């Protein structure tokens, strides 16, 4: 059992979600293809990306 | 006389208003056409025989009086719960905000437009109602998530449909099916009892056959006029990489030809932080989607279940970082709009893939159509701006292609001015293209 599978099964147990092996296999695929890519956000420089209010209905002030 | 659904939306409204077309007869003929023609594409799986007649009887004499339309399964109706492409009643029956705007204009909702399950896909290949086929080739995707809206309008079942757009869901199916798909500015109309109310990405989207029909529907939804101006003198910004460089060559060529035909001033520009858009979109969408109750989860397809379950593995600590990126990209986009009126690039990066194999081949390699489609479309949702897909001809495979334009917040009229100008200079060559299924009868 690899690290992602372990993690996924533990997360689903904690959330009381009934899943089967096929669900876990899909989740592993999606993790590798998409979720793992989110870590690029860890690398941003907070000084270059300051916190600002976001209202998607209007242009930024 | 030809079938009234071969008329445009505005021609139907005008004919009813003048008394040249009986609204009851229009409704009867529309329901019959859907019954006869929709089988291979499955765009409109639920018809409202009785409720639509009641709606017509009560319809006010507004700008859409007596005009049949369909609505995506994301909007609750007074007589039907919204199911969002699942078997479950997820928002109880009630008059949703967008429905009220259409009802008050006199429109008649004749059926539910099919959609990708939970709106979580851009192909329309998965739905509780079955997949939606493309009117140009029913073995190919109609797109998603508003695939039923685009397929039904393309097949001349109705002249207008209300979809929605959380990551390209109105624009991408429009590109696949050869119609106009307009994403409205985020939050520009009442969202109550609409699935978009739970996100900061989603906006209702208008699907119609041409710019003038899209304008009429958008004015109704926004409850304000979208004044028509010439679209001849626009400055259009193009961002070459990746939006033009990593797409099917024929797609890029058709979009480029459309820009040349339009005669717009084309300016090459960059949008800062573009390389982080995909991660910011995914991170935020995951945070806003959540996991439905087990009773609903159990009814969903394996891919949708997988997407929802995988969201549990997304680190929540990244959400504030995604928001920092989102704020920066919004500023970059606003900066771009200080030098150009619109931004332009191909909408879907390829023509519609086969339903049985919703993958696409790009210069960068083979990938899921969803991945490539989101890359082209989702910056509009991240930022909240309106966008449109305009038909720009056919691929050698016989499938339609779309040019995407984005405008500043609230500038829907500029997008429609551009679309109508393109129709004018091309003598409506692209918007008059008719799929084989619509040439029967």
pLDDT tens string B260-298:
999 999 999 999 999 999 999 999 999 999 899 989 999
Distance CA B172, CA B165 (A): 9
Strand B387-394 versus strand B400-406 pairing type? antiparallel
Q: What ipTM goes with this model? A: 0.95
Q: Which residue of A has its CA nearest to B293?
A: A17
pLDDT at B439: 86
Distance CA A28, CA A23 (A): 9
Is residue B2 scored above 90 in pLDDT?
no
* Partners of residue A16 in chain B, C-beta under 8 Å: 294
Average pLDDT, chain B: 97
Is residue B4 scored above 90 in pLDDT?
yes
pLDDT tens across B166-188, in order?
A: 999 999 999 999 999 999 999 99
Domain map (residue ranges) of chain A: 3-43
In this complex, how many residue pairs, one in chain A and one in chain B, have their CB atoms less than 8 Å apart?
A: 126
Best to test chain A binding among B126, B275, B282, B310 (most A CBs inside 10 Å): B310
- CA Rg, chain A, in Å? 17
pTM: 0.98
Report DSSP letters for B354-384, one per residue.
Answer: BTTB-EEEETTEEEEHHHHHHHHHTHHHHHT
Question: What share of chain B has pLDDT > 90, as a percent?
Answer: 98
> In chain B, what is the greatest distance between 2 CA atoms, to the nearest angstrom?
62
Residue B209 near residue B431 (C-beta atoms within 8 A): yes
Is residue B1 scored above 80 in pLDDT?
no
Q: Which residue of B has its CA nearest to A56?
A: B384
CB–CB contact B305 A23 (8 Å) = yes
The helix-helix angle for B211-222 and B9-18 (nearest 10°) equals: 70
* Partners of residue A11 in chain B, C-beta under 8 Å: 312-313
pLDDT at B290: 87
3-state secondary structure of B212: helix
All structural domains of chain B: 4-273+321-439 (3.90.1300.10)
Write down the number of H helices and E strands in chain A.
Answer: 2, 0
Report DSSP letters for B11-42, one per residue.
Answer: HHHHHHHHTSS-HHHHHHHHHHHHHHH-TTT-
pLDDT tens across A22-54, in order?
A: 999 999 999 999 999 999 999 999 999 999 999
Per DSSP, A41 falls in state G
* Partners of residue B367 in chain A, C-beta under 8 Å: none
Token look-up 């041409």 returns B210
- Count CA atoms within 13 Å of residue B102 on its CB side: 31
* Partners of residue B318 in chain A, C-beta under 8 Å: 38-39, 41-42
Strand B160-165 versus strand B235-238 pairing type? unpaired
3-state secondary structure of B330: helix
pLDDT tens across B44-58, in order?
A: 999 999 999 999 999
Query: Which of these, B120, B94, B93, B56, lies nearest to B301 by C-alpha position?
Result: B120
3-state secondary structure of B4: helix
Distance from CA of A1 to the nearest CA of B (A): 16
Query: Which of these, B158, B128, B160, B127, lies nearest to B142 by C-alpha position?
Result: B127
Distance CA B72, CA B310 (A): 26
Cα dihedral sign, A2-B120-B322-B389 = positive
Residue B87 near residue B119 (C-beta atoms within 8 A): no
Residue B44, φ and ψ in degrees, nearest 5: -135, 75
Query: Which of these, B348, B374, B370, lies nearest to B357 by C-alpha position?
Result: B370
CB–CB contact B310 A11 (8 Å) = no
pLDDT at B332: 98
- CA Rg, chain B, in Å? 20
pLDDT tens across B84-127, in order?
A: 999 999 999 999 999 999 999 999 999 999 999 999 999 999 99
Distance CA B95, CA A25 (A): 40
Strand B137-141 versus strand B133-134 pairing type? antiparallel
Report DSSP letters for B246-311, one per residue.
Answer: TS-HHHHHHHHHHHHHHTPEEEE---TTGGGHHHHHHHHHHHHH----HHHHTTS-HHHHHHHHHG
- The encoded tokens of residue B309 equal 């379950």
CB–CB contact B325 A11 (8 Å) = no
Where are the extended beta strands (E) located within B102-194? 108-113, 133-134, 137-141, 160-165, 180-183
């Amino acid at each position: 059992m690899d690290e992602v599978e372990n993690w996924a099964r533990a997360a689903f147990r904690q959330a009381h979600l009934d899943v089967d092996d096929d669900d876990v296999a899909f989740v592993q695929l999606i993790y590798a293809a998409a979720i793992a890519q989110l870590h690029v956000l860890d690398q941003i420089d907070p000084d270059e990306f300051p916190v600002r209010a976001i209202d998607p209905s209007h242009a930024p002030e | 006389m030809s079938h009234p659904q071969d008329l445009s939306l505005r021609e139907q409204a005008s004919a009813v208003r003048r008394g040249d077309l009986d609204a009851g007869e229009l409704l009867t003929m529309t329901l019959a056409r859907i019954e006869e023609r929709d089988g291979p594409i499955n765009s409109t799986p639920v018809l409202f025989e009785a409720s639509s007649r009641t709606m017509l009887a009560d319809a006010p004499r507004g700008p859409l009086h007596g005009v049949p339309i369909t609505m995506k399964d994301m909007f609750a109706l007074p007589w039907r719960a919204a199911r969002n492409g699942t078997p479950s009643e997820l928002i109880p029956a009630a008059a949703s905000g967008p429905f009220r705007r259409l009802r008050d204009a006199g429109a008649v909702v004749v059926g539910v437009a099919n959609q990708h399950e939970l709106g979580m896909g851009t192909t329309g290949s998965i739905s509780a109602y079955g997949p939606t086929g493309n009117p140009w080739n029913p073995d190919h995707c109609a797109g998603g998530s508003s695939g039923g809206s685009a397929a039904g309008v393309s097949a001349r079942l109705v002249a207008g449909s209300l979809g929605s757009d959380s990551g390209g869901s109105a624009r991408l199916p429009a590109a696949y099916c050869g119609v106009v798909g307009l994403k409205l500015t985020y939050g520009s109309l009442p969202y109550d009892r609409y699935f978009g109310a739970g996100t900061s990405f989603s906006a209702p989207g208008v699907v119609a056959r041409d710019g003038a029909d899209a304008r009429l529907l958008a004015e109704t939804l926004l409850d304000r006029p979208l004044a028509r101006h010439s679209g001849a003198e626009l400055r259009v910004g193009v961002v070459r990489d990746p939006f033009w460089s990593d797409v099917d060559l024929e797609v890029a060529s058709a979009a480029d030809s459309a820009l040349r035909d339009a005669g717009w001033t084309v300016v090459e520009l960059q949008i800062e932080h573009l390389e982080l858009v995909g991660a910011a979109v995914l991170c935020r969408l995951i945070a806003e989607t959540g996991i439905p109750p087990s009773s609903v989860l159990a009814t969903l397809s394996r891919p949708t279940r997988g997407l929802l379950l995988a969201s549990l593995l997304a680190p929540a600590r990244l959400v504030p970082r995604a928001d920092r990126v989102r704020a920066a990209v919004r500023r970059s986009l606003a900066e771009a709009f200080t030098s150009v009126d619109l931004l332009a690039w191909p909408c879907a990066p390829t023509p519609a893939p086969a339903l049985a194999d919703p993958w696409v081949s790009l210069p960068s390699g083979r990938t899921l159509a969803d991945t490539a489609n989101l890359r082209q479309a989702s910056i509009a949702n991240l930022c909240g701006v309106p966008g449109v897909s305009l038909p720009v001809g056919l691929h050698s495979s016989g499938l339609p292609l779309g040019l995407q334009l984005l405008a500043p917040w609230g500038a829907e009229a500029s997008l429609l001015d551009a679309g109508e100008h393109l129709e004018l200079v091309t003598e409506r060559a692209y918007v008059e293209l008719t799929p084989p299924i619509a040439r029967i009868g």
